[in-house]
Structure 1
């Protein structure tokens, strides 16, 4: 691969852009929430318990409903997930994590569209994924917005 000054300039601008993101308010909110989460002993205990239950759940899933503890383990995982999700520290962290993720998705879409409208950016959101492209076979004759 031949490196030209244009390539070097693009890479430098990418690093500069990364620094812009890491200096944003959204990123700092995420870091603060992460530090609070890491220092919250109750939240860490809940996460550890949930992780242990997930391991049991994965083991039970190998056999499915035929495993003798299937119902109990499945119920325990759902209950623990609810407890974890309602913990204030964990909820705040997830909220800030989602905001940072959305920022990164938006930036990725802007960059991709600046290069070419045909570039697909996986967003994890079916609305945005379907708005940017058609998976083919919609069968509506283009009324869905396919090109």
Structure 2
């Protein structure tokens, strides 16, 4: 029973920590930038266009370089991704997202090191990223390649 109470206590502390993070300036900036992003009609159109193009991209990835539209789709998706990433509202949102991720990474590292220096804490959101090669080899996605 004591171990269960310790676990419950740790979870309650984690919940408090989450609430503290939600009260941080980084979180408030992030939520404001996210709201700005979804209120920007041009940014929403770019995101919608990119999502549609990504469907074509995924179809092309099934066949790789053998797909008749491979080169065209690969070029178009890179151009759309660049246009999306270069849009001012999107870029500002991504900066705030990176800032908040840095805070979360710092907290994770502090918690991990408080337990043991041997525990690895994810940095730069690496736990959320595909660790595939990212080479875009045209193998149909079997190696983990992705356009985004």
Range into which the TM-score falls when normalised by the shorter chain: 0.7 to 0.9
Question: How many angstroms apart in 2 are the aligned matches of 1:56 and 1:28?
Answer: 36
Q: Deviations over 1:13-37 (max 9, x none)?
A: 2111111100000000000000011
Aligned partner of 1:15 in structure 2 is: 15
Question: How many angstroms apart in 1 are the aligned matches of 2:63 and 2:4?
Answer: 53
Question: How many angstroms apart in 1 are the aligned matches of 2:92 and 2:125?
Answer: 21
| Matched ranges for 1:91-102 at <5 A | 91-102=91-102
Q: Deviations over 1:70-109 (max 9, x none)?
A: 0000000011111001100111111101111111011101
**Alignment RMSD (CA, Å):** 1.7
1:125 and 1:48, CA in 2 relative to 1: closer, same or farther beyond 3 A? closer
**Shift of residue 3 of structure 1?**
2.2
Aligned partner of 2:26 in structure 1 is: 26
Aligned length: 125
2:114 maps to 1:114:
yes
Structure 1 spans left out of the alignment, 5+ residues: 127-147
**Shift of residue 11 of structure 1?**
2.2
- Structure with the larger RCO, 1 or 2 (CA within 8 Å, 6+ apart): 2
| Matched ranges for 1:1-147 at <5 A | 3-4=4-5, 6-124=6-124
Question: How many angstroms apart in 1 are the aligned matches of 2:94 and 2:43?
Answer: 12
**Shift of residue 117 of structure 1?**
1.0
Larger deviation: 51-60 or 8-17? 8-17
Structure 2 spans left out of the alignment, 5+ residues: 127-148
TM-score by length of 2: 0.79
Question: How many angstroms apart in 2 are the aligned matches of 1:55 and 1:121?
Answer: 34
